């Protein structure tokens, strides 16, 4: 399957022949650090190889469109409920620099004691099945070719079916997985003994499959009442899972600690979080670190969340990480939306690029005060672990010593209590019989096969890990709840050229509007909802509110459904100007000694944009032979026409950035009117430009053309030559 940048993902092609699909690569892939890499005008210290296709950060246009890629893997977590929509989102995320794509499972899959099959719709995530994995991995194979970088696919080996999921992942080329028996026990109430027995088997399979394991300790932070007090326990949970993973055969290179800075502003975040981050990395040197971003203190405000996540990423760079995980800024209010996955990825990559080479500039203090804080975190963790060793892990769990809101050794008695003999799956652990033979080669513990040193599965003709032909592929189980049924309407609408807005799922019609209402909060919110209804939005709902002043007003984000489909072929579009060849532009301009006058008009001091259009060093129109006279900023409109007469110019370029109260339109109309009064309008080409200027708007104001944000000197030169030549 081959993707084309100008064509959407063909879901029918993705789903075709999945029973014969085999992953073309297995195991985790890291980025390759390129020291002192030159990208455009800069030399970077902390970057990796560039992408073949990507979408640069918004400000990249000022630096030649560069898109340097950081040296850490970047994660985004996706949870639409429909895997076919996840695939499109994954492709978008990869173009923005994500190379660790994590799929959240549907609610309740942790408690299913076996594998799911087919493609039913999920809630809060997708049902992870063989068909879903194959469709995803097949798509990511093509995305890897499109962007030119390996893409790691990730899901969860936890819950009652941990070993079965691990084998499935190893068979199907999943690259990363969460596996932590404490997660099962504490947060899913799965039986303690079942969790640890299953974990040993699952971890062995992950090790043999080269699958990177993430632990689940960060969930203590997300669950704790006062997260900054749970840091000793976080270290203990990391230690327990790391030790158990090593015992099961996982090498340190495949063990990644999922660590998260515990707090968020208005708490003094760096002062609280940095000692913990340093202690963690010192205690667990040698393993990998997946730096998570804070979710415990997220509300509905996406800007607030993004700022917190910038600080989280700063902590990562001040210490160390191998993976920078990202959280969508809207996770605190809804299932993450398409564009917020991308926003989260861009928050991380923008921050990391801005911090490039930070260790050359600053370092953490090593004075007594800071080191004492680091040591205190370690001491509390060691005491916590000693108490568990003294009384036993089962007793600690039964006593509710995990996720207690006290700062250990302080206890508040409000931790998570689990009965070691209870929980889901209680009583299902069976003692292994003598002579047990494992059904696959990857196995923890005694196995009757392979004792002579041969491959274990050789005794029975091969296993599914060694011979994919032995895998039994099940397509669908439910004739109604499946991907083919869900795609009927979207594919029919696409074939008809229909477009609908969406944020979660194809054509869901959800839109979001931002409104400021100048009233008290209660009145303002009621008004915001009513205004949304008058806009034609069905089921409006306030998803974010911020009081700017209790009497002066509040700002709201309101989502609703716009049940409207448009035909793409009938949409009005601004006519695109065909650019003349550069040699043709230059030959015409130099032969005629073409002169141009330009200025930023009104009371406007902006000059960067107009200089880039004019100056030869920026690729401006001077390079083609135009003689340019730049009058400066805050120039009266009249002065432009006077200078045009002095220079015998053929064109006037008017730059107008300030648009308050339509002042830019007034300037354009004034220039046109004065040119007509002085009898020079037919001789002069009048061209306006600015960040808010459009061609249609400029023409309506009497200009010959208008150019907006992102315009190049070649575009302006091509227009001038084309129009002059037509005369």
Radius of gyration of the chain from its Cα atoms, rounded to whole angstroms: 31
pLDDT 10s digits, 442-477: 999 999 999 888 999 999 999 999 999 999 999 999
Q: How many CB atoms lie within 10 A of CB 75?
A: 27
| Average confidence (pLDDT) over 258-264 | 95
Task: Say if residues 482 and 119 touch (Cβ distance below 8 Å).
Answer: yes
Answer yes or no: is pLDDT of 577 > 80: no
In this structure, the number of other CB atoms found within 10 A of the CB of residue 642 comes to: 13
544 has pLDDT over 80: yes
pLDDT above 90 coverage of the chain, percent:
89
Could you report the per-residue pLDDT of 378-413, keeping only the tens digit for each?
Answer: 999 999 999 999 999 999 999 999 999 999 999 999
User: Using an 8 Å Cβ cutoff, are 656 and 600 in contact?
Assistant: yes
Q: What is the pLDDT of residue 250?
A: 97
Alpha-carbon distance of 104 to 212, in angstroms, equals: 16
Instruction: Reply yes or no on whether the pLDDT at 575 is more than 80.
Output: no
What's the rounded mean pLDDT across residues 136-162? Answer: 96
For residue 154, which of 111, 104, 109 has the smallest C-alpha distance?
104
| pLDDT at residue 527 in the model | 98
CB atoms within 10 A of CB 591: 9
pLDDT for 335: 84
Q: Which of 293, 313, 228, 304 is nearest to 265 (CA)?
A: 304
What's the rounded mean pLDDT across residues 216-231? 90
Q: How many CB atoms lie within 10 A of CB 523?
A: 13
Please determine, for residue 602, whether its predicted confidence score (pLDDT) is greater than 90.
no
Cβ neighbours of 727 (radius 10 Å) = 8
* Surface-to-core class of residue 411, CB atoms within 10 Å of its CB (0-12 exposed, 13-18 middle, 19+ buried): middle
Above 90 in pLDDT, residue 608? no
Rounding to the nearest 10 degrees, give the CA dihedral for residues 38, 44, 47, 50. -30
What are the residues whose beta carbons fall under 8 Å from the beta carbon of 211, sequence distance 6 or more?
27, 28, 166, 169, 170, 174, 175, 176, 177, 205, 254
Contact status, residue 609 vs residue 689, Cβ threshold 8 Å: yes
Residue 382 CA neighbour count, 13 Å, CB half: 8
**Distance, CA of 392 to CA of 410 (rounded, Å):** 19
Please list the residues that pair with 291 across neighbouring strands: 259, 324
Is a pLDDT exceeding 90 seen at residue 627?
A: yes
Q: What is the dihedral of CA 681, 685, 686, 688, to 10 degrees?
A: 170
Q: Is the confidence at residue 500, as pLDDT, over 90?
A: yes
Phi-psi region at 419: left, alpha or beta (left = phi > 0; alpha = psi -120 to 50): beta
Listed by start position, the domains of the chain span 11-59+69-354, 509-568, 582-726
DSSP string, 24-54: S--S-----EETTEEETTEEESSEEPPPSS-
Full 3-state SS string of 469-538: HHCCCCCCCCCCCCHHHHHHHHHHHHHCCEECCCCCCCCCCEEEEEEEECCCHHHHHHHHHHHHHHCCCE
Neighbours of 322 (CB within 10 A): 18
Q: Residue 617 — pLDDT band, cuts 50, 70, 90?
A: confident
Alpha-carbon distance 241 to 257, whole Å? 9
Does the global pTM surpass 0.95? Answer: no
Mean pLDDT of 294-308: 95
Average pLDDT over residues 330-339: 89
DSSP code of 321? -
Q: Return the higher-pLDDT residue of 709 and 30.
A: 30
pLDDT on residue 260: 94
CB atoms within 10 A of CB 256: 23
Mean pLDDT (the chain, rounded): 95
Confidence label for 366 from pLDDT (cuts 50, 70 and 90) = confident
Buried b (16+ CB within 10 A) or exposed e, 676-698: eeeebbeebbbbbbbbebebebb
Percent of the chain with pLDDT over 70: 100
Q: What is the largest CA-CA distance in the chain?
A: 105
Q: Say which DSSP state 423 is in.
A: S
- For residues 69 and 317, is the Cβ–Cβ distance under 8 A? no
CATH classification (class only), 509-568: alpha beta
The Cα-based distances of 109 to 66, 159, 168, 183 in angstroms read 43, 7, 15, 14
* Alpha helices (H) in 548-636, listed in sequence order: 582-592, 608-614
Q: Strand 323-325 and strand 566-567: pairing?
A: unpaired
d(CA 74, CA 569): 37
Q: Per residue in 436-460, is it b (16+ CB within 10 Å) or e — as a string? A: eebebbbbbeebebbeeeeebbeee
* Cα gap 532→588, rounded to integer Å: 54
Q: What is the pLDDT of residues 302-327, one digit of tens each?
A: 999 999 999 999 999 999 999 999 99
Q: Sign of the CA dihedral 31, 36, 38, 41?
A: positive
**DSSP-derived secondary structure for 268-280:** -HHHHHHHHHHHH
Nearest 5 degrees, angle CA 292-CA 296-CA 302? 85
| CB within 8 Å of 116: residues ≥ 6 apart | 109, 127, 128, 129
pLDDT at 574: 66
Class for domain 11-59+69-354, per CATH? alpha beta
Mean pLDDT in residue range 561-571: 94
553: enclosing H helix or E strand: strand 553-561
618 or 671: which carries more pLDDT confidence? 671
pLDDT in tens, 58-77: 999 889 999 999 999 999 99
Tell me, which fold does domain 582-726 have in CATH?
A: Rossmann fold (3.40.50)
């Amino acid at each position: 399957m081959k993707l084309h940048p100008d064509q959407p993902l063909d879901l029918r092609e993705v789903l075709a022949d999945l029973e014969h699909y085999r992953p073309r690569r297995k195991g985790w892939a890291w980025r390759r650090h390129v020291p002192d890499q030159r990208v455009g005008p800069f030399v970077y210290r902390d970057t990796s190889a560039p992408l073949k296709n990507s979408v640069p950060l918004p400000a990249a246009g000022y630096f030649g469109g560069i898109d340097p890629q950081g040296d850490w893997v970047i994660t985004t977590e996706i949870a639409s409920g429909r895997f076919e929509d996840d695939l499109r989102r994954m492709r978008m995320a990869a173009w923005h620099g994500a190379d660790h794509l994590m799929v959240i499972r549907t609610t309740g899959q942790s408690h299913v004691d076996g594998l799911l099959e087919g493609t039913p719709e999920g809630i809060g995530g997708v049902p992870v099945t063989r068909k879903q994995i194959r469709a995803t991995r097949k798509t990511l194979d093509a995305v890897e070719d499109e962007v030119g970088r390996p893409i790691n696919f990730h899901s969860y080996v936890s819950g009652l079916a941990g070993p079965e999921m691990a084998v499935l992942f190893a068979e199907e080329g999943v690259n990363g997985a969460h596996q932590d028996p404490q997660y099962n026990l504490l947060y899913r109430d799965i039986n303690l003994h079942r969790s640890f027995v299953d974990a040993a088997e699952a971890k062995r399979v992950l090790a043999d499959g080269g699958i990177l394991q993430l632990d689940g300790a960060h969930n203590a932070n997300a669950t704790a009442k006062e997260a900054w007090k749970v840091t000793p326990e976080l270290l203990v949970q990391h230690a327990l899972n790391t030790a158990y993973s090593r015992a099961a055969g996982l090498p340190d290179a495949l063990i990644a600690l999922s660590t998260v800075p515990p707090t968020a502003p208005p708490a003094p975040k760096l002062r609280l979080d940095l000692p913990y981050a340093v202690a963690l990395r010192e205690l667990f040197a040698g393993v990998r670190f997946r730096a998570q971003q804070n979710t415990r203190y997220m509300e509905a405000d996406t800007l607030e969340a993004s700022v917190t996540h910038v600080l989280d990423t700063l902590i990562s760079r001040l210490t160390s990480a191998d993976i920078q995980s990202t959280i969508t800024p809207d996770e605190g209010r809804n299932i993450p939306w398409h564009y917020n996955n991308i926003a989260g990825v861009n928050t991380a990559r923008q921050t990391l690029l801005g911090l490039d080479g930070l260790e050359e500039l600053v370092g953490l203090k090593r004075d007594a005060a800071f080191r004492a804080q680091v040591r205190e975190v370690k001491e509390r963790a060691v005491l916590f672990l000693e108490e568990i060793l003294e009384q036993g892990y089962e007793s600690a769990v039964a006593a509710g010593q995990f996720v207690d809101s006290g700062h250990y050794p302080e206890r508040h008695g409000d931790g998570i209590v689990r009965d070691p003999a209870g929980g889901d799956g209680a009583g299902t652990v069976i003692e292994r019989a003598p002579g047990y033979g494992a059904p696959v080669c990857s196995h923890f513990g005694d196995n009757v096969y392979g004792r002579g040193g041969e491959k274990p599965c050789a005794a029975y003709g091969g296993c599914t890990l060694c011979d994919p032909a032995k895998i039994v592929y099940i397509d669908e189980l439910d004739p109604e709840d499946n991907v083919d049924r869900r795609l009927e309407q979207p594919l029919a609408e696409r074939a008809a050229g229909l477009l609908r807005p969406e944020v979660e799922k194809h054509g869901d019609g959800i839109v979001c509007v931002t409104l400021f209402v100048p009233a008290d909060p209660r009145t303002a919110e009621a008004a915001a909802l009513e205004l949304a209804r008058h806009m034609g939005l069905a089921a409006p709902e306030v998803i974010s509110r911020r009081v700017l002043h209790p009497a002066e007003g509040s700002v709201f984000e309101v989502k609703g459904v716009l049940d409207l489909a448009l035909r793409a072929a009938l949409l009005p579009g601004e006519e695109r100007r065909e650019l003349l060849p550069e040699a043709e532009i230059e030959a015409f301009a130099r032969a005629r000694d073409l002169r141009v006058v330009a200025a930023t008009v009104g009371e406007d001091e902006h000059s960067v944009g107009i200089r880039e259009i004019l100056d030869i060093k920026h690729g401006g129109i001077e390079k083609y032979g135009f003689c340019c006279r730049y009058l400066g900023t805050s120039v009266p409109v009249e002065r432009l026409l006077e200078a045009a007469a002095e220079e015998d110019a053929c064109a006037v370029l008017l730059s107008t950035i300030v648009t308050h109260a339509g002042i830019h339109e007034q300037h354009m109309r004034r220039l046109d009117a004065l040119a007509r009064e002085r009898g020079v309008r037919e001789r002069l080409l009048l061209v306006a430009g600015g960040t808010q200027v459009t061609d249609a708007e400029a023409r309506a104001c009497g200009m010959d053309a208008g150019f907006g944000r992102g315009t190049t000197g070649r575009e302006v030169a091509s227009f001038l030559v084309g129009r002059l030549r037509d005369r």
